């Protein structure tokens, strides 16, 4: 009885190690990255500066500052900048 339990225990450990090795060597391919296109109504040539902080992207253009939440894909703020 004790030998049978010992054999079962050894087989379970071998199965556990085999599963760990199989998982480590057979990684799933990463999902494809989806291209996100947002129409912000901004001329791409007018963009002067971009700054990313976490999930917030700030675009500085010739006339505006646009703040975008990248995770939610929402434009949070668009302000006009006075020209000097």
3-state secondary structure of 5: helix
**Of residues 69, 43, 35, 41, the one with CA closest to residue 54:** 69
Q: Which residue has the higher pLDDT, 71 or 4?
A: 4
pLDDT tens for 18-44 read 999 999 998 888 777 777 677 777 888
CA–CA separation, 25 and 18 (whole Å): 11
pLDDT exceeds cutoff 90 at 10: yes
* Residue 50: per-residue pLDDT: 92
For the four alpha carbons of 69, 72, 74 and 76, in that order, the dihedral sign comes to: negative
- Whether the model clears a pTM of 0.85, i.e. scores above it, the answer is no
- Our separate counts of H helices and E strands in the chain read 1, 4
CA–CA separation, 59 and 52 (whole Å): 9
Average pLDDT of the chain to the nearest whole number = 85
């Amino acid at each position: 009885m004790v030998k049978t339990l010992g054999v079962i225990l050894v087989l379970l450990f071998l199965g556990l190690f085999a599963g760990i090795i199989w998982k480590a060597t057979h990684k799933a391919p990463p999902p494809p990255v989806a291209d996100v296109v947002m129409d912000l109504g901004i001329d791409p040539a007018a963009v002067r500066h971009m700054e990313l902080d976490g999930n917030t992207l700030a675009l500085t253009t010739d006339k505006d500052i646009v703040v975008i939440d990248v995770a939610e894909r929402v434009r949070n703020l668009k302000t006009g900048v006075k020209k000097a």
